[in-house]
Amino acid sequence: MSTEQDAREAQLVERVLASFDGTPDPRLRELMRALAGHLHAFVRETRLTEAEWQAAIEFLTATGHITDRRRQEFVLLSDVLGVSMQTITVNNEAYADATEATVFGPFFVEGSPLIPPGGDIANGAPGEPCWVSGAVHDTGGNPVPGARIEVWEADDEGFYDVQYSDERVAARGHLVAGADGDYRFWAITPTPYPIPHDGPVGRLLAATGRSPMRASHLHFMVRAPGFRTLVTHIFVAGDELLTSDSVFGVRDSLVKRFEPQAAGTTTPDGREVAGPWSRVRFDIVLAPDQ
Ligand code: BEZ
Ligand code: FE
Protein backbone atom coordinates (compact mmCIF):
# COMPACT_ATOMS: atom_id res chain seq x y z
CA MET A 1 0.00 0.00 0.00
CA SER A 2 1.33 3.48 -0.83
CA THR A 3 2.25 5.88 1.99
CA GLU A 4 -0.40 8.25 0.66
CA GLN A 5 -3.12 5.55 0.88
CA ASP A 6 -2.05 4.54 4.41
CA ALA A 7 -2.08 8.20 5.51
CA ARG A 8 -5.59 8.76 4.10
CA GLU A 9 -6.97 5.73 5.93
CA ALA A 10 -5.21 6.60 9.21
CA GLN A 11 -6.38 10.22 9.00
CA LEU A 12 -10.00 9.10 8.62
CA VAL A 13 -9.72 6.92 11.73
CA GLU A 14 -8.31 9.86 13.70
CA ARG A 15 -11.16 12.12 12.59
CA VAL A 16 -13.78 9.53 13.53
CA LEU A 17 -12.24 8.93 16.96
CA ALA A 18 -11.95 12.67 17.60
CA SER A 19 -15.66 13.09 16.76
CA PHE A 20 -16.44 11.47 20.12
CA ASP A 21 -14.23 13.85 22.12
CA GLY A 22 -17.20 15.95 23.23
CA THR A 23 -19.24 13.02 24.58
CA PRO A 24 -20.41 14.14 28.04
CA ASP A 25 -20.49 10.61 29.49
CA PRO A 26 -16.83 9.49 29.74
CA ARG A 27 -17.70 5.80 29.64
CA LEU A 28 -19.75 6.24 26.45
CA ARG A 29 -16.84 8.16 24.98
CA GLU A 30 -14.45 5.33 25.83
CA LEU A 31 -16.78 2.66 24.41
CA MET A 32 -17.51 4.54 21.17
CA ARG A 33 -13.85 5.35 20.52
CA ALA A 34 -12.83 1.73 21.11
CA LEU A 35 -15.69 0.37 18.99
CA ALA A 36 -14.98 2.71 16.08
CA GLY A 37 -11.25 2.01 16.34
CA HIS A 38 -11.71 -1.76 16.23
CA LEU A 39 -14.24 -1.54 13.37
CA HIS A 40 -11.87 0.56 11.29
CA ALA A 41 -9.01 -1.81 12.06
CA PHE A 42 -11.20 -4.69 10.84
CA VAL A 43 -12.10 -2.92 7.60
CA ARG A 44 -8.46 -1.99 6.92
CA GLU A 45 -6.96 -5.34 7.93
CA THR A 46 -9.37 -7.42 5.82
CA ARG A 47 -9.50 -4.86 2.96
CA LEU A 48 -13.29 -5.23 3.22
CA THR A 49 -15.01 -4.80 -0.15
CA GLU A 50 -18.09 -2.65 -0.61
CA ALA A 51 -20.08 -5.74 -1.62
CA GLU A 52 -19.01 -7.50 1.57
CA TRP A 53 -20.06 -4.52 3.71
CA GLN A 54 -23.41 -4.47 1.90
CA ALA A 55 -23.83 -8.20 2.63
CA ALA A 56 -23.07 -7.55 6.30
CA ILE A 57 -25.70 -4.80 6.42
CA GLU A 58 -28.25 -7.11 4.79
CA PHE A 59 -27.39 -9.79 7.35
CA LEU A 60 -27.92 -7.37 10.26
CA THR A 61 -31.15 -6.13 8.68
CA ALA A 62 -32.46 -9.72 8.46
CA THR A 63 -31.37 -10.26 12.07
CA GLY A 64 -33.52 -7.30 13.07
CA HIS A 65 -36.48 -8.37 10.98
CA ILE A 66 -36.74 -11.84 12.54
CA THR A 67 -36.42 -10.42 16.06
CA ASP A 68 -39.64 -9.96 18.03
CA ARG A 69 -40.94 -10.44 21.58
CA ARG A 70 -40.35 -14.20 21.42
CA ARG A 71 -37.27 -14.39 19.21
CA GLN A 72 -34.07 -12.40 19.90
CA GLU A 73 -31.73 -13.05 16.98
CA PHE A 74 -29.18 -10.42 18.10
CA VAL A 75 -28.62 -12.27 21.38
CA LEU A 76 -28.23 -15.47 19.38
CA LEU A 77 -25.64 -13.73 17.19
CA SER A 78 -23.76 -12.54 20.28
CA ASP A 79 -23.95 -16.12 21.63
CA VAL A 80 -22.50 -17.84 18.54
CA LEU A 81 -19.72 -15.23 18.31
CA GLY A 82 -18.78 -16.01 21.92
CA VAL A 83 -19.44 -12.38 22.89
CA SER A 84 -22.12 -13.33 25.44
CA MET A 85 -19.75 -15.80 27.06
CA GLN A 86 -16.84 -13.33 27.03
CA THR A 87 -19.00 -10.62 28.65
CA ILE A 88 -20.03 -13.12 31.35
CA THR A 89 -16.41 -14.11 31.87
CA VAL A 90 -15.28 -10.49 32.24
CA ASN A 91 -18.10 -9.66 34.65
CA ASN A 92 -17.96 -12.77 36.85
CA GLU A 93 -14.37 -12.63 37.96
CA ALA A 94 -12.95 -15.81 39.42
CA TYR A 95 -13.44 -15.62 43.21
CA ALA A 96 -12.02 -18.35 45.46
CA ASP A 97 -13.87 -21.59 44.64
CA ALA A 98 -17.12 -19.90 43.57
CA THR A 99 -19.05 -21.84 40.93
CA GLU A 100 -18.39 -20.60 37.40
CA ALA A 101 -21.06 -18.77 35.43
CA THR A 102 -22.14 -19.47 31.87
CA VAL A 103 -24.65 -18.19 29.31
CA PHE A 104 -28.20 -17.32 30.34
CA GLY A 105 -29.88 -18.31 27.09
CA PRO A 106 -33.31 -17.11 25.96
CA PHE A 107 -35.53 -19.66 27.71
CA PHE A 108 -35.64 -18.51 31.34
CA VAL A 109 -39.11 -17.47 32.49
CA GLU A 110 -39.69 -15.42 35.65
CA GLY A 111 -42.40 -16.81 37.96
CA SER A 112 -41.75 -20.54 37.54
CA PRO A 113 -43.59 -22.96 39.86
CA LEU A 114 -42.27 -23.54 43.39
CA ILE A 115 -41.08 -27.13 43.65
CA PRO A 116 -40.99 -28.64 47.17
CA PRO A 117 -37.82 -30.53 48.23
CA GLY A 118 -37.71 -33.78 46.23
CA GLY A 119 -40.46 -32.58 43.85
CA ASP A 120 -40.44 -33.05 40.08
CA ILE A 121 -39.86 -30.13 37.70
CA ALA A 122 -40.71 -32.25 34.62
CA ASN A 123 -44.50 -31.78 34.87
CA GLY A 124 -45.02 -34.16 31.95
CA ALA A 125 -42.00 -33.12 29.84
CA PRO A 126 -40.77 -36.23 28.02
CA GLY A 127 -37.40 -37.56 29.12
CA GLU A 128 -35.56 -39.97 31.37
CA PRO A 129 -36.00 -39.10 35.07
CA CYS A 130 -32.94 -37.61 36.74
CA TRP A 131 -32.40 -37.08 40.48
CA VAL A 132 -30.49 -33.84 41.12
CA SER A 133 -29.14 -32.96 44.56
CA GLY A 134 -26.55 -30.77 46.18
CA ALA A 135 -26.07 -27.88 48.55
CA VAL A 136 -25.43 -24.15 48.33
CA HIS A 137 -22.48 -22.75 50.31
CA ASP A 138 -20.48 -19.53 50.49
CA THR A 139 -16.77 -19.48 49.72
CA GLY A 140 -16.07 -20.01 53.45
CA GLY A 141 -17.96 -23.32 53.38
CA ASN A 142 -21.01 -21.99 55.28
CA PRO A 143 -24.45 -23.09 54.05
CA VAL A 144 -26.71 -20.53 52.38
CA PRO A 145 -30.17 -21.51 53.64
CA GLY A 146 -33.07 -19.97 51.74
CA ALA A 147 -31.13 -19.50 48.48
CA ARG A 148 -33.57 -19.42 45.58
CA ILE A 149 -32.60 -22.02 43.00
CA GLU A 150 -34.17 -21.67 39.54
CA VAL A 151 -33.82 -24.62 37.17
CA TRP A 152 -34.93 -25.05 33.58
CA GLU A 153 -34.13 -27.38 30.69
CA ALA A 154 -35.23 -28.67 27.30
CA ASP A 155 -37.25 -31.89 27.05
CA ASP A 156 -35.82 -34.89 25.23
CA GLU A 157 -37.40 -33.68 21.97
CA GLY A 158 -34.98 -30.72 22.26
CA PHE A 159 -37.59 -28.08 23.09
CA TYR A 160 -38.24 -25.80 26.05
CA ASP A 161 -41.87 -25.46 27.13
CA VAL A 162 -42.01 -21.89 25.75
CA GLN A 163 -41.17 -23.20 22.26
CA TYR A 164 -44.49 -25.05 22.10
CA SER A 165 -47.54 -23.12 20.97
CA ASP A 166 -49.65 -24.27 23.95
CA GLU A 167 -49.27 -22.62 27.35
CA ARG A 168 -47.55 -25.55 29.06
CA VAL A 169 -45.14 -24.98 31.94
CA ALA A 170 -42.80 -27.95 32.04
CA ALA A 171 -39.18 -28.79 32.88
CA ARG A 172 -38.78 -25.63 34.93
CA GLY A 173 -39.27 -24.58 38.52
CA HIS A 174 -37.66 -23.01 41.55
CA LEU A 175 -36.65 -24.42 44.89
CA VAL A 176 -35.57 -22.95 48.19
CA ALA A 177 -32.39 -24.31 49.77
CA GLY A 178 -32.92 -25.97 53.18
CA ALA A 179 -31.30 -25.16 56.52
CA ASP A 180 -28.02 -26.80 55.45
CA GLY A 181 -28.16 -25.15 52.02
CA ASP A 182 -29.29 -28.52 50.68
CA TYR A 183 -31.64 -29.08 47.77
CA ARG A 184 -32.96 -32.03 45.78
CA PHE A 185 -35.44 -32.52 42.97
CA TRP A 186 -36.41 -34.73 40.06
CA ALA A 187 -35.75 -33.44 36.55
CA ILE A 188 -35.05 -35.16 33.24
CA THR A 189 -31.62 -36.25 32.04
CA PRO A 190 -30.40 -33.44 29.74
CA THR A 191 -30.09 -34.25 26.04
CA PRO A 192 -28.47 -32.19 23.23
CA TYR A 193 -30.55 -29.76 21.19
CA PRO A 194 -29.91 -27.11 18.53
CA ILE A 195 -30.23 -23.38 19.17
CA PRO A 196 -32.85 -21.84 16.86
CA HIS A 197 -31.17 -22.06 13.44
CA ASP A 198 -33.91 -21.25 10.93
CA GLY A 199 -32.85 -17.59 10.65
CA PRO A 200 -29.80 -15.48 9.72
CA VAL A 201 -27.68 -16.88 12.57
CA GLY A 202 -28.45 -20.42 11.40
CA ARG A 203 -27.39 -19.43 7.87
CA LEU A 204 -24.16 -17.97 9.27
CA LEU A 205 -23.45 -21.23 11.12
CA ALA A 206 -24.14 -23.26 7.96
CA ALA A 207 -21.93 -21.00 5.81
CA THR A 208 -19.06 -21.42 8.26
CA GLY A 209 -19.48 -25.18 8.63
CA ARG A 210 -20.54 -24.90 12.28
CA SER A 211 -23.19 -26.91 14.09
CA PRO A 212 -26.06 -25.26 15.97
CA MET A 213 -25.99 -28.01 18.62
CA ARG A 214 -25.60 -27.22 22.29
CA ALA A 215 -24.00 -29.73 24.63
CA SER A 216 -26.60 -31.35 26.95
CA HIS A 217 -27.19 -29.16 29.99
CA LEU A 218 -29.46 -28.20 32.85
CA HIS A 219 -29.77 -24.46 33.62
CA PHE A 220 -29.46 -23.01 37.13
CA MET A 221 -29.84 -19.50 38.48
CA VAL A 222 -29.11 -19.14 42.20
CA ARG A 223 -29.97 -15.96 44.11
CA ALA A 224 -29.45 -15.09 47.77
CA PRO A 225 -29.12 -11.70 49.51
CA GLY A 226 -25.49 -10.63 49.86
CA PHE A 227 -24.28 -12.92 47.08
CA ARG A 228 -23.50 -12.46 43.40
CA THR A 229 -26.35 -14.01 41.39
CA LEU A 230 -25.05 -17.16 39.75
CA VAL A 231 -26.32 -18.02 36.26
CA THR A 232 -24.90 -21.32 35.15
CA HIS A 233 -25.55 -24.81 33.77
CA ILE A 234 -24.31 -28.29 34.49
CA PHE A 235 -23.18 -30.38 31.55
CA VAL A 236 -23.17 -34.16 31.10
CA ALA A 237 -19.73 -35.80 31.32
CA GLY A 238 -19.00 -37.88 28.23
CA ASP A 239 -21.26 -35.84 25.92
CA GLU A 240 -19.45 -35.65 22.58
CA LEU A 241 -20.65 -32.05 22.07
CA LEU A 242 -18.73 -30.71 25.08
CA THR A 243 -15.91 -29.48 22.83
CA SER A 244 -18.14 -27.95 20.15
CA ASP A 245 -20.95 -26.23 22.08
CA SER A 246 -22.37 -23.69 19.64
CA VAL A 247 -22.38 -20.85 22.19
CA PHE A 248 -19.04 -21.65 23.92
CA GLY A 249 -20.81 -22.18 27.25
CA VAL A 250 -18.90 -25.22 28.52
CA ARG A 251 -16.54 -24.86 31.50
CA ASP A 252 -14.67 -27.94 32.71
CA SER A 253 -15.77 -27.28 36.29
CA LEU A 254 -19.42 -27.50 35.21
CA VAL A 255 -19.16 -30.94 33.62
CA LYS A 256 -20.77 -33.44 36.02
CA ARG A 257 -21.22 -37.18 36.13
CA PHE A 258 -24.84 -38.06 35.50
CA GLU A 259 -24.70 -41.62 36.81
CA PRO A 260 -26.97 -43.97 34.85
CA GLN A 261 -29.21 -46.17 37.00
CA ALA A 262 -30.67 -49.38 35.62
CA ALA A 263 -34.45 -49.90 35.63
CA GLY A 264 -35.54 -51.17 39.03
CA THR A 265 -32.72 -49.46 40.97
CA THR A 266 -34.11 -48.07 44.23
CA THR A 267 -34.56 -44.30 44.05
CA PRO A 268 -33.31 -41.93 46.81
CA ASP A 269 -36.86 -41.00 47.83
CA GLY A 270 -38.58 -44.32 47.17
CA ARG A 271 -40.33 -43.03 44.04
CA GLU A 272 -41.35 -45.78 41.62
CA VAL A 273 -39.63 -45.16 38.29
CA ALA A 274 -40.66 -47.43 35.41
CA GLY A 275 -37.42 -47.47 33.41
CA PRO A 276 -33.80 -46.39 33.77
CA TRP A 277 -33.00 -43.08 35.46
CA SER A 278 -29.92 -41.07 36.32
CA ARG A 279 -28.56 -39.08 39.23
CA VAL A 280 -26.19 -36.16 39.57
CA ARG A 281 -24.78 -34.10 42.43
CA PHE A 282 -24.09 -30.39 42.01
CA ASP A 283 -22.68 -28.44 44.93
CA ILE A 284 -22.92 -24.71 44.41
CA VAL A 285 -20.56 -22.08 45.84
CA LEU A 286 -21.72 -18.44 45.74
CA ALA A 287 -19.33 -15.49 45.58
CA PRO A 288 -20.13 -12.48 47.78
CA ASP A 289 -21.81 -9.49 46.20
CA GLN A 290 -19.03 -7.01 45.20
C1 BEZ B 1 -29.84 -22.19 25.95
O2 BEZ B 1 -29.06 -22.87 26.54
O3 BEZ B 1 -31.00 -22.31 26.29
C4 BEZ B 1 -29.40 -21.27 24.85
C5 BEZ B 1 -28.27 -20.51 25.03
C6 BEZ B 1 -27.86 -19.66 24.02
C7 BEZ B 1 -28.58 -19.58 22.84
C8 BEZ B 1 -29.70 -20.37 22.66
C9 BEZ B 1 -30.12 -21.23 23.66
FE1 FE C 1 -30.44 -24.33 27.29
pLDDT digits (tens, 9 = 90+) for 262-277: 999 999 999 999 999 9
**pLDDT score at 70:** 77
Q: What is the mean pLDDT of residues 7-24?
A: 98
Return d(Cα 253, Cα 230) in angstroms, integer: 14
pLDDT digits 0-9 by tens, 38-97: 999 999 999 999 999 999 999 999 999 999 877 889 999 999 999 999 999 999 889 999
**pLDDT score at 54:** 98
Q: What is the 3-state secondary structure (H, E, C) of the chain?
A: CCHHHHHHHHHHHHHHHHCCCCCCCHHHHHHHHHHHHHHHHHHHHHCCCHHHHHHHHHHHHHHHHHCCCCCCHHHHHHHHCCHHHHHHHHHCCCCCCCCCCCCCCCCCCCCCCECCCCCECCCCCCCCEEEEEEEEEECCCCECCCCEEEEECCCCCCCCHHHCCCCCCCCEEEEECCCCCEEEEEEECCCCEECCCCCHHHHHHHHCCCCCEECCEEEEEEECCCECCEEEEEEECCCCCCCCCCCCCCCHHHEECCEEECCCCCCCCCCCCCCCEEEEECCEEECECC
CA of 72 to the centre of ligand 2 (A): 15
Does 143 contact ligand 1 (Cβ within 6 A)? no
Q: By C-alpha distance, which of 158, 259, 256, 160 is closest to 212?
A: 158
Does 80 contact ligand 1 (Cβ within 6 A)? no
Q: What is the mean pLDDT of residues 244-262?
A: 98
Other Cβ atoms closer than 10 A to 84:
21
Neighbours of ion ligand 2 (CB under 5 A): 105
Please report which confidence band the pLDDT of residue 219 belongs to, taking 50, 70 and 90 as the band edges.
very high
CA of 106 to the centre of ligand 1 (A): 6
Side-chain half-sphere exposure of 197, counting CA atoms within 13 A: 18
203 pLDDT above the threshold of 90: yes
Residues 6+ apart with CB under 8 A from 236: 189, 190, 215, 216, 217, 255, 256, 258
What angle is formed at CA 212 by the lines to CA 206 and CA 215, rounded to 5 degrees? 150
Does 178 contact ligand 1 (Cβ within 6 A)? no
Residue 7: exposed, middle, or buried by beta-carbon count in 10 A (0-12, 13-18, 19+)?
exposed
**pLDDT score at 290:** 74
Note the pTM of the prediction, 2 decimals: 0.92
**129-138 and 284-286 strand pairing:** parallel
What angle is formed at CA 186 by the lines to CA 85 and CA 228, rounded to 5 degrees? 35
Give whole-number Cα distances, 72 to 12, 67, 278, in Å. 34, 5, 33
261 pLDDT above the threshold of 80: yes
Does 105 contact ligand 1 (Cβ within 6 A)? yes
Q: Which of 151, 195, 217 gets mutated to test ligand 1 (max ligand atoms within 8 A of its CB)?
A: 195
Return d(Cα 23, Cα 21) in angstroms, integer: 6
pLDDT digits 0-9 by tens, 110-128: 999 999 999 999 999 999 9
Q: Which CATH superfamily is domain 85-286 in?
A: Aromatic compound dioxygenase (2.60.130.10)
**pLDDT score at 224:** 98
What are the residue boundaries of the structural domains of the chain, listed by start? 3-76, 85-286
Q: What is the mean pLDDT of residues 275-280?
A: 98
Does 98 contact ligand 1 (Cβ within 6 A)? no
The percent of residues above 70 in pLDDT, for the chain, comes to 100
The percent of residues above 90 in pLDDT, for the chain, comes to 96
pLDDT digits 0-9 by tens, 145-171: 999 999 999 999 999 999 998 989 999
